[in-house]
Amino acid sequence: MRKPRTTTAPAVLTLAVAATLLVGCSTGEPAVDPDAPVTITISNKPPAERAEELAAFEARVAEFEEANPNITVEATETVWDAQTFQALLAGGELPTTLVVPFTEPQAMIARGQVADITDELAEVGLTDLLNPAALTVAQDADGAVYGVPIDAYALGLVYNRALFEAAGLDPDVPPATWDEVQEFAARITEATGVAGYSQMTTGNTGGWMFSAITYAHGGTVQSADGTESTFDDAPAREQLERLHDMRWNDQSMGSNFLYDMASISQEFAAGRIGMFVGAPANYIFATLLNGMDPAEFGMGPMPQGPDAGGTMSGGAVQVVSPDATPEQQLAAVKWFAFSLEASTNEEKAVAAAKTSFEAGLPVGLPGLSSLKDDDYQRFLGWIEEYINVPLENFAPYTETVNTIELTPEPVAKAQEVYAALDSVVQAVLTDEGADIDALLADATRNVNALLSR
Amino acid sequence: MTTGTLLTPSTAPAPRRRGLRSWYRRGGLASIFFALPVILVFAYFSWGPIARGLTMSWQKTNLVDPASWVGWANFEYVLQNPLLGQAALNTVWFVVLGLLIGFPLPLFLAVFISELRGTKPIYSVLSYLPVVIPPVVAILLWKVFYDASPTGVFNTILGWVGIGPLPFLNSPTMAMPSLVLESTWASAGSTVIIYLAAMASVRGELYEAAELDGAGIWRKIWSITLPQLRGVILIVLLLQIIGTTQVFAEPFLFTGGGPNNATTTILLLIFNYAFVFGDYGAASALSALLAAVLAVVSIVYFWATRRWSDA
């Protein structure tokens, strides 16, 4: 075989790389040049079928690139998914930024799978803007911040106004207690034959719902430090007995019990479910994705048990990949700040609302803002004329969402705890002779073993 | 396979010293080059991941930092999971049901189809069609059919003959048989084709001799077809056992583990370890254990059936 021609290029390249590495080492602190050219990959680009959303998204990206000429943004349709995240991480294919649900950041921080962006947030000036209560979900024990919360919400009761009317109930007065939920469900089933009340039970949503309703009964699921399970007590027992009652005595829960977020939204949009516990985002699932008439969609606060305990908060957090370079981290945080500008800058807020409105997307969906409350009210005032979500239907929910007691999701291994609790709820709904005490005792044992690993 | 012809001293190959050169001249190097792509592909996509997986079962890794060695900790963790016993039981139950329902059926179909004259190709195609449908599509289709409300497809059909609406996937006892039913429907076709091909090789004189002795069709099947197909049946049985032990798509898509873990299988546990809990060490450990169990089962199987597999 002939010897390859030697060129000077590889040698020069190696020297250059070595030089930069050495320079980096010698200064002791990585010198992050805020104007250095950098490319970042962002996630959650809307797919091609959602053309209007995609157009709005691309417009925002173009605007960001114009404001920051040194940053090139590539968008991917990658979304966070429990099943693909690990594989993406292993393959080094994670986008620079990712949107993950509230249950994930603590686990990811513990596993070292997200980047620490405390310094970058301070540099960009975001730390002052954000609601400190909202930040805790992405902070570790020392207060270092690993993500920016967006789309926060509190769980409430989603109901079908048309079915309420058909059952002779006032659609503006959703049930406020679980006794009322049971009564209303029975009446809906009697009048219309469909399931009056349904609950998500599979894919970890069973445990999620169980935990939220336990909160509403004044109980907790996990100790504050995340080392012990605390759900083997009266609040949990009460809710499971009522569920059992509704399923087997009242028969107001229909005949299908294996639901996750997507399938329950489908059934609900088809008018086959009267009520279920959900989030404002279900409005998007039901109307945009499953063609439900927005006028039929209603939402109220989480029904309370005798020892009212409030409801569970949830949401999404924007995080940065652990593989990102310091320059990329800074660019990513600038992107987060830019996204938030749509809520803090009047012109941008109005422009964004207008684009979404013209694209037929929901504007003004109620929720919890990651901003401080005054800023949020100011934002709502700006976009008022573009709000196309029937806010009257959400009135019972919005009236209480800022005053109801909010408890965040369990801190330690939330997804695993939920998975273990899925079977408790499924057992109650599919096995008439289910022994609730034994189920709770077993689940406590299993979860404690999990938490101690 | 005949092992009768042994090498005798007079037919021994040439001494080694000259062997290498004559091997080269006979085109030995070319055969290596032909084999190289296949070997490389297998090494990269098959053997490499297996070796990597085995290594990971003794490590703790978060896929970002270098992994750390933890000895047998993953195996201990996996074995003391209270769900493992239930999952193992469910998997065995799925295998047993699969054998009960899914093993005789292709045999009967193959015998039936082979007895037909002109319409044989049509029925062969029809029986193979379910195999062509992508598994996920088939499962999602059946999930709609299994709707437990009285207006579900199967419940409507059962209603015509007066059988009440059945809960199907929503009942802990009915969920697994429902899964097996769909699984059998989806895979029976390929086994039917294999049996049909094997049956074509059975010598016709045997059937004629049996007919002369006055044997009816069932007697012919029992005394001639089945014994002649013995080798194929034994292999298919072992492959089915190994395949159904690794069932994942049906529990995952139909029930996500089933009402109260009634359809949680070992593969589903492995999947949850790896992708829901991010614990690759535990997932690899359980996979290694499963592979070891299946290897032992295969060895025992071959030893137990050694008498029957000789032609």
pLDDT at A18 over 80: no
* Mean pLDDT value across residues A233-244: 92
> DSSP state, A38?
E
Containing structural domain, residue A202: 156-313+412-451
Tokens read off for B244:
């159904």
Instruction: Give me the helix-helix angle, B120-132 and B104-115, nearest 10°.
Output: 150
pLDDT of residue B9: 54
Count of positions (residues) in chain B: 311
* CB pair distance less than 8 Å for B277 and A413: yes
CA B304 and chain centroid, separation: 19
**Residues of chain B that touch chain A, judged by Cβ-Cβ distance less than 8 Å:** 62-65, 77, 80, 82-83, 147-150, 165, 167, 169-172, 255-261, 271-272, 274-278, 280
> Which residue of A243, A257, A423 to mutate against B (max B Cβ within 10 Å)?
A423
User: If you measure CA to CA, which chain A residue comes closest to B150?
Assistant: A255
Q: Per the domain annotation, does B47 fall within a domain?
A: no
Pairs across A and B, CB distance < 8 A: 92
- A452 lies within 8 A of chain B by CB: no
- C-alpha torsion sign, points A361, A362, A364, A367: negative
Say how far apart CA A295 and CA A116 lie, in whole Å.
44
* CB pair distance less than 8 Å for B64 and A323: yes
Tokens read off for A1:
């075989």
* CB pair distance less than 8 Å for B277 and A449: no
Say how far apart CA A369 and CA A378 lie, in whole Å.
12
Nearest-CA distance from B109 to chain A in Å?
A: 34
Nearest-CA distance from B275 to chain A in Å?
A: 5
* CB pair distance less than 8 Å for B276 and A257: no
* CB pair distance less than 8 Å for A449 and B80: yes
* CB pair distance less than 8 Å for A260 and B169: no
* CB pair distance less than 8 Å for B82 and A449: yes
- C-alpha torsion sign, points B234, B238, B240, B241: positive
To the nearest whole percent, how much of chain B has pLDDT over 90?
Answer: 44
Tokens read off for A19:
């030089």
Say how far apart CA B9 and CA A52 lie, in whole Å.
83
Task: Tell me if residue B58 falls in helix, strand or coil.
Answer: coil
Nearest-CA distance from B23 to chain A in Å?
A: 24
Nearest-CA distance from A259 to chain B in Å?
A: 9
Tokens read off for A27:
């200064």
pLDDT of residue B309: 63
* CB pair distance less than 8 Å for B278 and A111: yes
Residue B291: which pLDDT band, with cuts at 50, 70 and 90? very high
pTM here is 0.77
Tokens read off for A146:
């690993």
pLDDT of residue B207: 85
Say how far apart CA B297 and CA B89 lie, in whole Å.
16
pLDDT of residue B12: 56
User: For residue A220, what is the domain's CATH number?
Assistant: 3.40.190.10
Q: Give the count of beta carbons closer than 10 Å to the beta carbon of residue A347.
A: 10
Q: Which residues of A touch B147 (CB under 8 A)?
A: 256
Q: How much of chain B is helix, strand and coil, in % rounded to 5?
A: 75, 0, 25
Say how far apart CA B9 and CA A430 lie, in whole Å.
74
pLDDT of residue B11: 56
When mean pLDDT is compared across A79-83, A155-159, B76-80, the lowest value belongs to: A79-83
Tokens read off for B283:
């997932």
Residue A36: which pLDDT band, with cuts at 50, 70 and 90? confident
What is the number of domains present in chain A? 1
* CB pair distance less than 8 Å for B64 and A107: no
Nearest-CA distance from A339 to chain B in Å?
A: 28
Tokens read off for A349:
């807020």
Residue A22: which pLDDT band, with cuts at 50, 70 and 90? very low
User: For residue B265, what is the domain's CATH number?
Assistant: 1.10.3720.10
> Which residue of B276, B279, B284 to mutate against A (max A Cβ within 10 Å)?
B276
φ, ψ of residue A31 in degrees (nearest 5): -85, 105
User: If you measure CA to CA, which chain B residue comes closest to A109?
Assistant: B62
Residue located via tokens 């749509």: A342
Nearest one of A164, A188, A187, A162 to A174, comparing CA atoms: A164
Residue A3: which pLDDT band, with cuts at 50, 70 and 90? very low
When mean pLDDT is compared across A35-39, A257-261, A352-356, the lowest value belongs to: A352-356
* CB pair distance less than 8 Å for A257 and B259: yes
Q: Per the domain annotation, does B143 fall within a domain?
A: yes
pLDDT in tens, A291-347: 899 999 999 999 998 888 888 888 888 999 998 889 899 999 999 888 887 777 788
pLDDT of residue A251: 92
User: If you measure CA to CA, which chain A residue comes closest to B252?
Assistant: A203
* CB pair distance less than 8 Å for A323 and B62: no
Tokens read off for A111:
């596993």
Of A371 and A47, the one with more pLDDT? A47
- Is residue B261 within 8 Å of residue B83, measured between CB atoms? yes
**Torsion of the alpha carbons at A111, A113, A114 and A118, rounded to the nearest 10:** 40
- Is residue B235 within 8 Å of residue B243, measured between CB atoms? no
Nearest-CA distance from A394 to chain B in Å?
A: 31
**Torsion of the alpha carbons at B196, B200, B202 and B206, rounded to the nearest 10:** 110
pLDDT in tens, B114-160: 888 778 888 889 989 999 999 999 999 999 999 888 888 999 999 99
pLDDT of residue A14: 44
Q: Which residues of B touch A100 (CB under 8 A)?
A: none
Say how far apart CA B311 and CA B303 lie, in whole Å.
16
What is the number of domains present in chain B? 1
- A325 lies within 8 A of chain B by CB: no
pLDDT of residue B14: 53
Nearest-CA distance from A211 to chain B in Å?
A: 17
* CB pair distance less than 8 Å for B275 and A87: yes
- The partner residues of A313 in beta bridges, in order of sequence, read A154
Q: Per the domain annotation, does B67 fall within a domain?
A: no
Q: Per the domain annotation, does A275 fall within a domain?
A: yes
H or E stretch including A17? helix A8-27
pLDDT of residue A352: 78
Nearest one of A333, A266, A317 to A118, comparing CA atoms: A333
Q: CB-CB: which of A84, A113, A445 is closest to B64? A: A113
Name the average pLDDT for chain A: 84
pLDDT at B31 over 80: yes
Q: Per the domain annotation, does B95 fall within a domain?
A: yes
Task: Tell me if residue A74 falls in helix, strand or coil.
Answer: strand
Containing structural domain, residue B211: 73-309
Say how far apart CA B298 and CA B309 lie, in whole Å.
14
- A445 lies within 8 A of chain B by CB: yes
Nearest-CA distance from B280 to chain A in Å?
A: 9
Instruction: Give me the helix-helix angle, B104-115 and B172-200, nearest 10°.
Output: 40
Q: Per the domain annotation, does A294 fall within a domain?
A: yes
Tokens read off for A129:
């803007």
Q: Per the domain annotation, does A325 fall within a domain?
A: no
Residue A9: which pLDDT band, with cuts at 50, 70 and 90? very low
Task: Tell me if residue B246 falls in helix, strand or coil.
Answer: coil
* Mean pLDDT value across residues B3-20: 58
* Global ipTM: 0.72
CA A316 and chain centroid, separation: 4
pLDDT of residue A136: 75
Q: How much of chain A is helix, strand and coil, in % rounded to 5?
A: 50, 15, 35
Q: Which residues of B touch A422 (CB under 8 A)?
A: 256-257
* CB pair distance less than 8 Å for A430 and B171: yes
Nearest-CA distance from B277 to chain A in Å?
A: 7
Residue A400: which pLDDT band, with cuts at 50, 70 and 90? confident
pLDDT of residue A261: 87
* CB pair distance less than 8 Å for A449 and B62: no
Residue A13: which pLDDT band, with cuts at 50, 70 and 90? very low
> Which residue of A421, A426, A439 to mutate against B (max B Cβ within 10 Å)?
A426
Say how far apart CA B126 and CA B116 lie, in whole Å.
14
Residue B85: which pLDDT band, with cuts at 50, 70 and 90? very high
φ, ψ of residue B124 in degrees (nearest 5): -60, -45
